[in-house]
């Protein structure tokens, strides 16, 4: 495959992601005595939650991306060990000196599974559709990656130039994500809802064979696939014939099904599951997610969370190490910033430290006085708020229940509000919550802009904050690795200082794999890539 080209003066842009330290982090599920890879077979995978939509552009949860990542290819890929941006559908690219224009040269002969060509016209149609049809309401991540999008010019059949109305240094890494994966012209011509039923046509190594919402998804190998990413370990078609994803919400049922050979691999294997999985020859594969750690994002226009001192007090009130030790185990880390530690530009923040006396002192000074039941009050108002969350990660409820106890110890009443994924998405769009709990995975510090920019998702419902707004704008215009890292470091502190994020724990992927599953791997953003996976003992 051809190497990429980058215009003079912006080499640091492509190099910026090299700051990543082993995003994938873990060894693949390969036994030393497994022998040479074998083609064929069906891998049976147990998802901990239902995919929200079959459309990669509308995907957000890990369980969804595990599925959709296999169906679409992206313009580029990102090496999980080095963070380097590498060729995939594009064999080379040029970036303008101000990082406002990106020109991609596509590989020749690539087709979608309906036989239509992957060409510059398809690039244009995909990106136009995300911005003009899906919009950020349906594609919050894809929309944020294309912020300031002016359009795509079809220079020739295999050359596409994407222009923005200003610097957009994060875009090159964004082209490696599933959200910007390419789909056929027929697929992207459909309205948003019609793109969620498994009819999506991509150019990836697998295609949708069956899609039953909330139940199961079956993927079939794409015959003739020969344009894999430079990151892939082998050329040609995928090894597996079929991947059968089944939704199995109960952790014990997933583990039991893996141990009894009813499933080959499962999501969200908990620490207590390890002995049972290992007793039957399996293993647990883990890797830390880059991006924003799990945390509480307050709506700063509602209730007690309008008070910045309340938001400030919540940070030292949480014992994050206890959350990890009690609920998750040693494969997880407590959050130490508003970015996860595997993210380029991550800076550890000393303020994210457990200090309940500090939390009480802040609340005392702000006039929040303990009531008869231990919950603080001010001007007749209880220090109480709700946190909306969904079960996108198996540990969410247990983590928040323990957080609830910890906050009560300093006089704060946290009320848990468990909702479905669709309801969470809808209410986030309308800002109908006191606070919302989630994480976002991305191997680029620009995830801060996605999560906190006033003109982005802005789930804080905040107004202008000049210093933070300036930082989030500057990082987009900065192609120097060191300088961009410093700006992202500053933005992390500003997010915390303004009480826009209450970090809890860093997400790790913990995948249970049976003894016959070989080369199951994590890609750079800690999601599964099945292209190199094979089954031994066929």
pLDDT greater at residue 374 or residue 84: 374
CA dist 530 and 238 (Å) reads 8
For residue 32, pLDDT beyond 80:
no
Joined tokens for residue 201: 């046509």
pLDDT greater at residue 219 or residue 83: 219
* Predicted pLDDT at 95: 94
- Say if residue 502 is in the same domain as residue 526: no
Interval 328-338: pLDDT, tens: 988 899 999 99
CB of 454 within 8 A of CB of 469?
yes
* Predicted pLDDT at 15: 31
CATH of the domain at 465: 3.10.105.10
* Predicted pLDDT at 321: 98
- Which pTM value belongs to this model? 0.82
CATH of the domain at 265: 3.40.190.10
Averaged pLDDT score across all residues of the chain: 92
- Say if residue 350 is in the same domain as residue 484: yes
**Residue-range definition of the domain harbouring residue 400:** 291-506
CA dist 116 and 303 (Å) reads 53
In-domain check, residue 27: no
In-domain check, residue 427: yes
For residue 21, pLDDT beyond 50:
no
Mean pLDDT of 210-228: 97
- Say if residue 367 is in the same domain as residue 422: yes
Residue 372 — pLDDT band, cuts 50, 70, 90?
very high
- Say if residue 147 is in the same domain as residue 161: yes
Q: Strand pairing partners for 101?
A: 163
- Give the DSSP letter of residue 327: I
Residue 10 — pLDDT band, cuts 50, 70, 90?
very low
Q: At 472, give phi and psi (nearest 5°).
A: -70, -25
Interval 103-159: pLDDT, tens: 999 999 999 999 999 999 999 999 999 999 998 789 988 998 998 999 999 999 999
* Predicted pLDDT at 464: 98
Residue 285 — pLDDT band, cuts 50, 70, 90?
very high
Residue 507 — pLDDT band, cuts 50, 70, 90?
very high
Q: Taking the CB of residue 35, how many other CB atoms lie within 10 A of it?
A: 10
CA dist 538 and 534 (Å) reads 10
Mean pLDDT of 27-40: 77
In-domain check, residue 14: no
Number of compact structural domains in the chain:
2
In-domain check, residue 35: no
* Predicted pLDDT at 316: 98
Helix (H/G/I), strand (E/B), else coil: 535: strand
Is the alpha carbon torsion for 146, 149, 151, 154 positive or negative?
Answer: negative
Q: At 292, give phi and psi (nearest 5°).
A: -90, 135
In-domain check, residue 109: yes
For residue 430, pLDDT beyond 90:
yes
- Say if residue 301 is in the same domain as residue 415: yes
CA dist 321 and 303 (Å) reads 29
For 161, the enclosing helix (H) or strand (E) is: strand 159-164
Spell out the residues 6+ positions from residue 103 whose beta carbon is closer than 8 angstroms to its own. Answer: 93, 94, 95, 155, 159, 160, 161, 162
* Predicted pLDDT at 27: 53
* Predicted pLDDT at 17: 29
- Distance of CA 209 to CAs 9, 86, 206, 338, 374, Å? 46, 29, 9, 40, 56
* Predicted pLDDT at 135: 86
> Where would I find the H helices in 28-139?
62-68, 120-129, 135-138
CB of 387 within 8 A of CB of 417?
yes
* Predicted pLDDT at 514: 97
Mean pLDDT of 80-89: 92
* Predicted pLDDT at 456: 83
- Say if residue 409 is in the same domain as residue 492: yes
- Say if residue 386 is in the same domain as residue 240: no
- Say if residue 228 is in the same domain as residue 318: no
For residue 5, pLDDT beyond 50:
no
- Say if residue 296 is in the same domain as residue 269: no
Angle, CA 280 vertex, CA 275 and CA 286 arms, to 5° = 55
- Say if residue 489 is in the same domain as residue 515: no
CA dist 386 and 395 (Å) reads 18
The radius of gyration of the chain from alpha carbons, rounded to an integer in Å, stands at: 23
Determine which of 24-28, 130-134, 144-148, 247-251 has the lowest per-residue pLDDT on average.
24-28
For residue 22, pLDDT beyond 80:
no
For 414, the enclosing helix (H) or strand (E) is: strand 413-418
At which residue do the structure tokens 């800690």 appear? 526
Q: Express as a percent the part of the chain with pLDDT over 70.
A: 94
In-domain check, residue 249: yes
- Say if residue 239 is in the same domain as residue 377: no
* Predicted pLDDT at 28: 61
- Say if residue 528 is in the same domain as residue 389: no
In-domain check, residue 311: yes
């Amino acid at each position: 495959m051809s190497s990429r080209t980058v215009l003079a003066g912006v080499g640091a842009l492509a190099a910026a992601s090299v700051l990543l330290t082993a995003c994938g982090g873990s060894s693949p599920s390969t036994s030393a005595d497994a022998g040479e890879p074998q083609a064929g077979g069906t891998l049976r995978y147990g998802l901990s939650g239902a995919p929200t939509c079959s459309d990669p552009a509308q995907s957000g949860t890990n369980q969804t991306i595990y599925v959709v990542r296999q169906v679409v290819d992206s313009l580029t890929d990102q090496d999980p060990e080095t963070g380097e941006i590498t060729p995939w559908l594009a064999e080379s690219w040029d970036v303008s000196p101000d990082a406002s224009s990106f020109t991609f040269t596509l590989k020749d002969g690539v087709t979608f599974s309906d036989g239509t060509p992957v060409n510059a016209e398809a690039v244009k149609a995909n990106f136009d559709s995300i911005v003009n049809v899906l919009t950020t309401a349906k594609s919050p991540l894809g929309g944020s990656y294309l912020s300031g999008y002016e359009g795509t010019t079809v220079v020739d059949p295999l050359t596409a130039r994407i222009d923005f109305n200003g610097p957009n240094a994060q875009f090159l890494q964004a082209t490696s994500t599933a959200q910007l994966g390419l789909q056929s012209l027929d697929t992207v011509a459909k309205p948003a809802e019609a793109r969620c039923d498994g009819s999506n046509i991509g150019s990836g190594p697998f295609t949708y064979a069956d899609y039953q919402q909330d139940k199961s998804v079956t993927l079939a190998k794409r015959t003739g696939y020969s344009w894999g990413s430079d990151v892939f370990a082998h050329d040609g078609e995928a090894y597996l014939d079929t991947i059968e994803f089944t939704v199995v919400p109960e952790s014990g049922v997933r583990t039991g099904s893996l141990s009894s050979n009813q499933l080959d691999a499962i999501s969200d294997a908990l620490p207590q599951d390890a002995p049972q999985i290992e007793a039957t020859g399996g293993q647990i594969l883990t890797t830390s997610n880059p991006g924003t750690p799990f945390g509480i994002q307050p709506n700063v226009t509602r209730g007690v969370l309008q008070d910045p001192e309340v938001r400030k007090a919540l940070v030292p009130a949480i014992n994050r190490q206890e959350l990890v030790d009690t609920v998750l185990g040693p494969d997880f880390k407590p959050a130490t910033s508003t970015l996860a530690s595997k993210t380029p530009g991550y800076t550890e923040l000393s303020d994210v430290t457990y200090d309940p006396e500090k939390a009480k002192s802040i609340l005392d000074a702000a006039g929040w006085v303990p009531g008869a039941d231990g919950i603080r009050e001010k001007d007749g108002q209880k220090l109480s708020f709700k946190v909306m969350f969904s079960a996108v990660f198996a540990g969410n409820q247990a983590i928040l229940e323990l957080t609830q106890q910890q906050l009560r110890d300093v006089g704060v009443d946290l009320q848990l509000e468990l909702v479905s994924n669709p309801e969470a998405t809808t209410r986030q769009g309308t800002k109908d919550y006191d606070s919302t709990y989630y994480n976002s995975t991305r191997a680029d510090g620009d995830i801060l802009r996605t999560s906190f920019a006033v003109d982005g998702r802005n789930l804080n419902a905040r107004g202008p904050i000049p210093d933070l707004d300036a930082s989030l704008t500057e990082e987009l215009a900065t192609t120097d690795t060191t300088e961009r890292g410093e700006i992202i470091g500053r933005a992390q502190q500003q997010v915390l200082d303004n009480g826009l994020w209450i970090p809890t724990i860093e997400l790790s992927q913990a995948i249970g794999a049976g003894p016959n599953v070989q080369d199951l791997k994590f890609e750079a953003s800690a999601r599964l890539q099945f292209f190199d996976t094979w089954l031994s003992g066929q």
